[in-house]
Amino acid sequence: MEDLPRIALITGASRGIGRSIALKLAESGHKIAINYNSHKEDAEKVLKEVESLGSEGIIVKANVSKLNEVQEMINFVEENLGNIEILYNNAGIISDSLLMRMKPEDFDRVIDTNLKGTFYCTKLCINNMIKNRWGRVINISSVVGIRGNIGQSNYSASKAGIHSFTKSIAKEVATRNITVNVIAPGYVSTATTNVLSEKVKKEVMSWIPMQRFGEPEEIAPIAAFLAKEEARYITGEIIRVDGGMAI
Ligand code: NDP
């Protein structure tokens, strides 16, 4: 079956992995809604890159942890590009500390952005996908959602929550030609990991059989593949892209 040009929303696409997914999709001629929260200039740069690849796009500001902002974002995308057919729940944050020092608000902020944001965006996109009898939801989690990590109880819980959420929704919508999957990256060179100290980076490296961090461009191809017709029988799956870290 041929791949049609589709309409995709990528949350947190102003930088890092989200930006890389936007550029990969643009190569296939999809129309792309680039969501950002605080870095408008970065989102505008991504839009220019998308357009230079011959695709159409828009930027759209929304904090995915706020239901009303997610609703406004989806309305804006539908009015300006059309119904969202492919959703990438990629926006995510960290707020690391050991449990004994973790403030309840640090726990809430991470859960609200990573897990509730995924819930809000999926909930508000799924009805149209069901109506159209076609859809793709691709959630970006993390290997720490599988193996846990010291200082990341909030983050790893949010990502593990995404895993079970994905499996449940995959079952709910399987008969409607909609697939719901997870990509679980390992450590990837982005703003999130650039702040790690050399000491921490060295320790992390000892966990990775490939002995290096990944690049955003190494996540984007599988993210694009999961949106294709060829991937139609893959659902409820968690695909690690982690240099072997969670083997
Ligand atoms: P970056 O920090 O490079 O970028 C984060 C993106 O998310 C930005 O575009 C940012 O927008 C957006 N964002 C943050 N908070 C919100 C919010 N509340 N609402 C909407 N957008 C928001 O992240 P990465 O590229 O590193 O990470 C992308 C995803 O991959 C995340 O879910 C992360 O947990 C996951 N991941 C990353 C790994 C890594 O090593 N880098 C490893 C495993 C998973 P803006 O800048 O405009 O605020």
Q: What is the CATH number of the domain that holds 122?
A: 3.40.50.720
Residue range(s) defining the domain that contains residue 68: 7-241
Q: Nearest CA to 35 among 2, 58, 68?
A: 58
Q: From the CB of 18, is ligand 1 less than 6 Å away?
A: yes
Residue 123 lies in a domain: yes
Q: Best substitution site from 21, 37, 205, 245 to test ligand 1's pocket, by max atoms within 8 Å of Cβ?
A: 37
Given a cut of 90, is residue 245 above it in pLDDT?
Answer: yes
> Is 155 among the residues known to form the active site?
yes
Find the 242 Cα to ligand 1 centroid distance in Å. 17
The rounded mean pLDDT for the chain is 97
| Interatomic CA distance for residues 4 and 193, integer angstroms | 35
Q: From the CB of 17, is ligand 1 less than 6 Å away?
A: yes
Given a cut of 80, is residue 176 above it in pLDDT?
Answer: yes
Residue 157 lies in a domain: yes
Here the tokens at position 38 are 């605080």
Question: pLDDT at position 206, please?
Answer: 95
Residue identifier of the C-alpha nearest atom 3 of ligand 1 = 16
CB atoms within 10 A of CB 87: 27
Q: Nearest CA to 122 among 167, 57, 60?
A: 167
Residue 163 lies in a domain: yes
Residue 246 lies in a domain: no
Residue identifier of the C-alpha nearest atom 31 of ligand 1 = 92
Q: How many domains in the chain?
A: 1
Q: Which atom of ligand 1 is nearest to the CA of 69?
A: 19
Residue 23 lies in a domain: yes
**Token pair 């959630």 is at which residue?**
139
| Interatomic CA distance for residues 61 and 38, integer angstroms | 8
Which range among 30-34, 90-94, 100-104, 200-204 shows the weakest confidence by mean pLDDT?
A: 200-204
Find the 164 Cα to ligand 1 centroid distance in Å. 20
Given a cut of 90, is residue 166 above it in pLDDT?
Answer: yes
Residue 29 lies in a domain: yes
Residue 73 lies in a domain: yes
Given phi > 0 = left and psi -120 to 50 = alpha, else beta, which region is 82? left
Residue 2 lies in a domain: no
**How does pLDDT run across 49-68, given as a tens digit for each residue?**
999 999 999 999 999 999 99
Give the pLDDT band of residue 1 (cuts 50, 70, 90): confident
Q: From the CB of 243, is ligand 1 less than 6 Å away?
A: no
Question: pLDDT at position 39, please?
Answer: 97
Question: pLDDT at position 2, please?
Answer: 84
